[in-house]
Amino acid sequence: MFKTKKKFVLMFSVLLLASLFAPLLHNVKAADISTSKFGGKAETNLTILASNYPAWDSSKVYWGGDMVSYNGKDYKAKWWTQGETPGVADVWELVATNPNPTTPVADGVYRITNKSSGKVLDVIDKSTASGAKIHQWTNYNTTNQQFKVEKQSDGYYKLTAVHSGLVLDVPNSSTSNSVQLQQWTNNNTNAQRWQITDVGGGYYKVISKVSGLAMDVRSSSKDDGAVVQQYTDNGTDAQKWSFTLADSTDPTDPPITGFKVVGYYPSWEPGKINTIQYNNLTHINYAFAIPTSDGSLLPLENPDEARQIIQKAHENGVKVLLAVGGWSYNGTPLESTFMSATNTHDKVVRFGNAIVSMAKQYGFDGVDMDWEHPRNDGSSKQQYEDLMVYLSGELHRNNMLLTAAVLSGVTPEGVVYWDAAAHTDKVISVVDWFNVMAYDGGDGERHSSYDFAINCAKYWRDTRHMPREKVVLGVPFYGRPSWASYAAILQANPNAYNTDVSMINGMQAHYNGIPTIKAKTQWACDNIGGVMAWELSQDTTDLSKSLLNAIGSTVRANK
């Protein structure tokens, strides 16, 4: 696991160049910003780029999610890259100056719910005819209440009723108030284009391109059958809608119990929180809170999105933990930071209290410790144990959970990692469970094969004598080499869900397709306590090919 957001301070040596390119630069004094928004100190009298992100370096390795500035524009890496020029190579995605000013709706199949009434958008009588009217109705999870949302080349969205294949439409391209919406054959007119705008709190307004009017429940009615119309944008709750990824399961299905399905959600992907499949999860780890050397934490990234996830998770019976650490921050591994933050008893207490305080502040249900990785020699092992024991006492006293992301335990060849022993028997006794990172064994077949994963779980269960319910098997939602997400791999090869090897960007990526994910999940159901995924935003929104949905369906089949 790794943290990808970056910051950049231009070194003093380029001040001379700054005078030649004054329009591209501006001066920022330390007195004006003593601390950057990424937690770094600004140096007195240095000139920094107007962009929030570092200049692209052709010799540097970038990972998926890394941000750079190049020729006055900001770019985001889609996957691993080195030496490929932003604006030329497909690996770089052009973003706005602020890449996440709002939370956009990702393409997918959604249930669209009105804030005022709690009722969902519905095609009347499940009709498949053009001209059938749109109203609101109690959610029954039927396909006439599900809409495929697709962003078009003009930046607007097309909304297609799943059951009929017909498109949400303004009759006769009307620009009048109070016109009831309908479904109609796709004709690519502006009457079938919709602007979906984030209005905060997980809700959106939906504006017709042809009329400029908002999708609205007539008279703010809370009744089944109330007309859904277009009306002047007035900012009321009758014009606010949530987009929830449509469930693939019967809404009467009980939540998953007796088995853990844990998913990490990256704080740097606020635009995809509405794709989280809460029905297929028991726990979400919000990644990451970043430690500092003095035993404190940087401010939580995208806290509003964290609150939204917590609220919706709790509504669905899912718990959310605060994941602390990760592999690196701003390109620097965090191992030494953890060491500095815990090198005295007083700092262990301070650091532990800071972690518990942040978890309580936002309403998290516990903490997942991602110290990557404590070592089996030197003082690292004892410092890690001291921190985990302290956290266990403080969290369990407050009925909160403590988990940890840990080494796979063995190599793909079955050789035990020396540093796996740094997770001592004492630590095993005080945690609620371990999230075993049974992936990143290497590129190609070494990444995360079925046999490698099972050997990892057996190490913790059998060799380390960990109670089986405390072993949670990690699975990857990305491939190696390439570091491409499963969703990106599917875009390159729509049939990639049914295999574990696929070509993307000229590389043969190895990953876990649905058959392997189901096989791992079935083994976990039979032998240990759960399954964990890194990470949720990398999954596809196509539920028929979704890895998380495959996990959920396998777990339910064992009940």
Please, which pLDDT band fits residue 274 given cuts at 50, 70 and 90?
confident
Boundary (domain end) residue, out of 192, 220, 245 = 245
Enter the tokens of residue 398. Answer: 């407050």
Asked whether residue 507 is domain-assigned, the answer is: no
Q: Indicate the burial class of 26 (C-beta count within 10 angstroms; 0-12, 13-18, 19 or more).
A: exposed
Question: Quick check: 29 pLDDT over 70?
Answer: no
Q: Do 202 and 323 share a domain, yes or no?
A: no
Question: Quick check: 246 pLDDT over 60?
Answer: yes
pLDDT of 19 reads 35
Q: Do 56 and 201 share a domain, yes or no?
A: no
Residue 240 maps to which CATH number? 2.80.10.50
Q: Find the farthest-apart pair of alpha carbons in the chain and give their distance in angstroms, rounded.
A: 75
- Dump the DSSP string for 336-387: HHHHHHTSSHHHHHHHHHHHHHHHHHHT-SEEEEEES---SSTTHHHHHHHH
Q: Do 293 and 215 share a domain, yes or no?
A: no
Q: Do 470 and 438 share a domain, yes or no?
A: yes
Residue 520 maps to which CATH number? 3.20.20.80
Angle at 125 between CA 121 and CA 126, to 5 degrees: 70
Q: Do 222 and 300 share a domain, yes or no?
A: no
Mean pLDDT of 154-178: 95
Phi, psi of 322 (to 5 degrees): -90, 115
Q: Do 306 and 415 share a domain, yes or no?
A: yes
Residue ranges making up the domain that contains 330: 260-478+513-557
Q: For residue 438, how many other CB atoms are within 10 A of its CB?
A: 28
pLDDT of 375 reads 97
Boundary (domain end) residue, out of 95, 122, 150 = 95
Q: Do 277 and 234 share a domain, yes or no?
A: no
Asked whether residue 503 is domain-assigned, the answer is: no
Across 243-247, 419-423, 510-514, 532-536, least confident range: 243-247
- What is the domain count for the chain? 3
Q: Which residue has the higher pLDDT, 559 or 341?
A: 341
Mean pLDDT of 215-220: 98
State pLDDT tens for residues 52-84.
Answer: 578 888 888 887 777 888 877 788 887 778 888
- Spell out where 419-539 has E strands: 433-436, 471-476, 501-504, 507-510, 530-534
**CA-based R_g, the chain, Å:** 25
Asked whether residue 493 is domain-assigned, the answer is: no
Q: Do 266 and 414 share a domain, yes or no?
A: yes
Q: Could you say which DSSP state residue 213 is in?
A: P
- Calpha distance 75→56 (Å, rounded): 9
Q: Do 275 and 219 share a domain, yes or no?
A: no
Cα 250 versus chain centre, distance = 25
- Over the range 227-259, which residues count as b (16 or more CB within 10 Å of their CB) and which as e? bbbbbeeeeeebbbbbbbbbbbeeeeeeebeeb
Asked whether residue 524 is domain-assigned, the answer is: yes
- Calpha distance 412→455 (Å, rounded): 8
Residue 74 maps to which CATH number? 2.10.10.20
Using DSSP bridges, classify how beta strands 530-534 and 134-137 pair: parallel, antiparallel or unpaired. unpaired
Asked whether residue 488 is domain-assigned, the answer is: no
pLDDT of 499 reads 96
Q: Answer whether 498's CB lies under 8 Å from 511's CB.
A: no
Q: Do 221 and 266 share a domain, yes or no?
A: no
Across 42-56, 151-165, 420-434, least confident range: 42-56
Asked whether residue 419 is domain-assigned, the answer is: yes
| CA neighbor of 309 nearest in space, from 231, 254, 364, 251 | 364
Mean pLDDT of 553-557: 93
Please, which pLDDT band fits residue 269 given cuts at 50, 70 and 90?
very high
pLDDT of 6 reads 35
Across 9-18, 195-204, 294-303, least confident range: 9-18
Q: What is the 3-state secondary structure (H, E, C) of 125-194?
A: HHCCCCCCEEEEECCCCCHHHCEEEEECCCCCEEEEECCCCCEEECHHHCCCCCEECEEECCCCCHHHCE
Distances in Å between the Cα of 219 and the Cα atoms of 124, 132, 175, 176, 439 are 19, 21, 19, 16, 54
Please, which pLDDT band fits residue 39 given cuts at 50, 70 and 90?
very low
- Over the range 324-357, which residues count as b (16 or more CB within 10 Å of their CB) and which as e? bbbbbbbbeebbebbbbbbeeeebbbbbbebbbe
State pLDDT tens for residues 451-471.
Answer: 999 999 999 999 999 999 999
- Dump the DSSP string for 9-64: ---GGGHHHHHHTGGGEEE--TTT-SB-TTSPBPPTT-EEESSSSPBP-TTSEE-T
Asked whether residue 132 is domain-assigned, the answer is: yes
State pLDDT tens for residues 520-531.
Answer: 999 999 999 999
Using DSSP bridges, classify how beta strands 47-49 and 61-62 pair: parallel, antiparallel or unpaired. unpaired
Q: Do 362 and 268 share a domain, yes or no?
A: yes
